[in-house]
Amino acid sequence: MNKYADIIVNISHEALDRTFQYRVPDELINEVETGSYVNIPFGKGDKIIGGYVLELSDTPNYDPSKIKSIISINADSSLVESKLIKLAYFLKKNYGSTMINALKTVLPIKKKVKEKQIKTVVLKADETLANELLMEYERKHQTARYRLLKELIEEKNIDYSLVVNKLNISASTLSYMESNGVVEITSERVYRNSTKGVISHEKKTLNDEQRKIADAIISDINNDIKDTYLIRGVTGSGKTEIYMEIIDSVINRGQSAIVLIPEIALTYQTVMRFQKRYGDRVSTLHSKLSSGEKYDQFIRAKNGEIDVMIGPRSALFTPFSNVGVIIIDEEHEGSYKSENMPKYHAREVAIELAKLHHASVVLGSATPSIEAYYRAKKGEYKLFELDKRAVSDSMAKTKIIDLREELKAGNKSMFSRELKEKIEDRLIKKQQVMLFLNRRGYAGFVSCRTCGHVVKCPHCDVSLSLHGRSKMVCHYCGYETKTYDKCPECGSPYIGGMKAGTEQVEENIKKLFPFANVLRMDADTTKSKDSYENILSSFANKEADILIGTQMIVKGHDFPNVTLVGILAADMSLHVNDYRASERTFQLITQAAGRAGRGGLLGEVIIQTYSPDNYSIISSANQDYNSFYAEEIEYRDLMGYPPVGHMLAILMESANERLVDITSRNLAGCVKNDIIDKANVREVRVIGPTEATIARINDIYRRVLYIKSSDYEKLREIKDLIESIELDKGLRISFDFDPMNGY
């Protein structure tokens, strides 16, 4: 019986570390639960205050005669915070984490931050004057002034940062126009990141296929059927329009919507579409917001000032009081899995949150995760499929090029002959090209051609990547050093970069096509706050002919003038030690291919590979999800991999190599000899411990233990039992269920 409750009285406090234990009186024992908001006597004077129940237990922490009792359940117990605390408890229970960590994950924490001024550019000239000036600017080819005025005539006022970044208007142009009385720049103290002034209710009429799906989901919602839906729809099939239709109906019911998009695809395109439709009733979160900015957005949501929150997985924790729908776009994305404890998956948490709010969950992707599709096939989710684009219904033409044949024909360059010709052709036609290579830097590693020595990071068990011609960087810890002119092992001068990265692609393209304008987008070129947007918007404005990039460029962007996509090394993500390698390869190629020919022009995709017979490459070239799925699920089933079987990865880390070695071996023994019996599981396999794929990062040694079972619940029990073992302080242990990435 849960006779004692740990209660927290102030959850808006940063520390969150103090709970007080209270007795649950008999008459409340069936009502008090995790997250309940209860009235308690507090302090010396027993003042009655409210508090949230964090955890329940049947054992007192100290002398039971000194423990005070809960007075009653507060009538307001359906508070937003109660739901979030319940969600935190779910995280703790399911993913292994302390309650404090789980709370910190879900609760918006107020930190002291400075108020921020938001500047807005406002049209001051009246309509007649504005239109006269517009003609004058056009006549005089004053393009920047023309561009700004044209937008202002439509919108009247535009966020200053949009003007500078999206419209590319310089400060001097602005001050010229301000001094001439055409515009005015106003400042006000407002909530950070609020998105004012870009409303123009733009609504498409759904086509029949879209209508059917939207209607089915909306009618469920209106009939109080709350479910999880998976929409598999090729890129451009109009999923986003369906989402917005569903959101409209939810808003009409007086409820709010949460829209998750992967951080990388958080481009002005997606956000602008939502802003155009919902104006300042939508707010955006992204990882580059400060915690103060994030907090402000949460407060707006809590105050009912917005209807839609769009953002990465943490947008799930928006304190809306009444959520109607949670949408997860690009559901298959790895960024929906948290890398830190608790290592939760946004899909599962969304489904749990939806239960608390009695809301629906809509998942969408062109290439659903094997997991989600498997569940949909089993009937756990309702499945809808869209195989045609909403506007131009022709999919891009794809071609696989065998790089071994290129080599035989004497072509050692990173571009096949056909790709080179096609790039040339597009440059002549003034159409745009995207080149995708999933490796940043200049070269993947540096090695000696004489003795084979590979240069490694002194702090990590990985090779250094070459950046530019003279710098080597560790992608795991950031260590940097100058390149060597001689091999440190044998002294040979033949030491150099192997496996080209995006930097080298850029260099070679510039050599081959000196007149082309080239942009590059990868983790190195997008370090500053608006850099994603700047690169993408300048490519969208056709300021460049070729965009080169890592996986950042393949997701969700709509560039109508791109008619050629080159995938330079399609098998790169294939030969890694990870059961999801084929899935990821299929997704990346399919998504990259989906970038071509989105504006009515026919698109072409060239897929270069050394493994032209691999099923994930063939089925992605054919844009054939179902045949890929059929082959992949057979393999997962055979091997007992997720989603058919389940896996718990236990990562142990320590600066002390001996400690992590011994403890991980002891733990494996303990699991085999003791814990498996206690949890009463039969079908279970313990694999390891072994060194993690990267055995050392930043001088921390890493060992991994895998436990496989077809029974997910049992794995959870095993995790609980392991958590109750006291471990050495110098050791960190973390749990990951059905890991998205290998260790």
Chain residues binding ligand ADP by CB under 6 A are 204-207, 210, 233, 235-241, 390-391, 558
By C-beta, is 390 or 460 nearer to ligand ADP?
390
How far, rounded to the nearest angstrom, does the alpha carbon of residue 5 sit from its chain's CA centroid?
36
By C-beta, is 213 or 433 nearer to ligand ADP?
213
Contact pick of 155, 425, 489, 558 for Zn ion (by CB under 5 A)? 489
476 contacts which partner out of ligand ADP, Zn ion, none, CB within 5 to 8 A by kind? Zn ion
Binding piece for Zn ion, criterion CB under 5 A, among 89-97, 114-122, 421-429, 487-495 = 487-495
Number of residues that bind Zn ion (CB under 5 A): 15
Q: How far is the CB of 489 from ligand ADP (least distance, A)?
A: 50
By C-beta, is 489 or 723 nearer to Zn ion?
489
| 259 is a contact residue toward Zn ion (CB under 5 A) | no
By C-beta, is 204 or 469 nearer to ligand ADP?
204
Q: How far is the CB of 733 from ligand ADP (least distance, A)?
A: 40
Contact pick of 476, 513, 610, 712 for Zn ion (by CB under 5 A)? 476
Counted residue by residue, the chain has a size of 743
Q: How far is the CB of 446 from Zn ion (least distance, A)?
A: 11
Burial class (CB in 10 A: 0-12, 13-18, 19+), 384: buried
Whether residue 339 contacts residue 740, with contact meaning beta carbons closer than 8 Å, is answered with: no
207 contacts which partner out of ligand ADP, Zn ion, none, CB within 5 to 8 A by kind? ligand ADP
| 116 is a contact residue toward Zn ion (CB under 5 A) | no
Whether residue 373 contacts residue 230, with contact meaning beta carbons closer than 8 Å, is answered with: yes
Q: What is the DSSP annotation of 43-108?
A: TTTTEEEEEEEEEEESS-SS-GGG--B--EE-TTTT-HHHHHHHHHHHHHHHHT--HHHHHHHHS-
Contact pick of 450, 622, 690, 741 for Zn ion (by CB under 5 A)? 450
635 contacts which partner out of ligand ADP, Zn ion, none, CB within 5 to 8 A by kind? none
Helix (H, G, I), strand (E, B) or coil at 1: coil
| 518 is a contact residue toward Zn ion (CB under 5 A) | no
* Ramachandran class of 81: left when φ > 0, alpha when ψ lies in -120 to 50, beta otherwise: alpha
448 contacts which partner out of Zn ion, ligand ADP, none, CB within 5 to 8 A by kind? Zn ion
Q: How far is the CB of 456 from Zn ion (least distance, A)?
A: 9
By C-beta, is 206 or 323 nearer to ligand ADP?
206
Distance (Å, whole) CA 596 – CA 247: 29
| 451 is a contact residue toward Zn ion (CB under 5 A) | yes
Distance (Å, whole) CA 15 – CA 18: 8
For residue 104, give the nearest of 297, 350, 342 by alpha carbon: 342
* Ramachandran class of 657: left when φ > 0, alpha when ψ lies in -120 to 50, beta otherwise: alpha
437 contacts which partner out of ligand ADP, Zn ion, none, CB within 5 to 8 A by kind? none
Q: How far is the CB of 272 from ligand ADP (least distance, A)?
A: 11
Whether residue 231 contacts residue 373, with contact meaning beta carbons closer than 8 Å, is answered with: no
For residue 85, give the nearest of 70, 58, 104, 110 by alpha carbon: 104
By C-beta, is 205 or 528 nearer to ligand ADP?
205
By C-beta, is 241 or 406 nearer to ligand ADP?
241
| 605 is a contact residue toward Zn ion (CB under 5 A) | no
Whether residue 608 contacts residue 401, with contact meaning beta carbons closer than 8 Å, is answered with: yes
Whether residue 590 contacts residue 565, with contact meaning beta carbons closer than 8 Å, is answered with: no
457 contacts which partner out of ligand ADP, Zn ion, none, CB within 5 to 8 A by kind? Zn ion
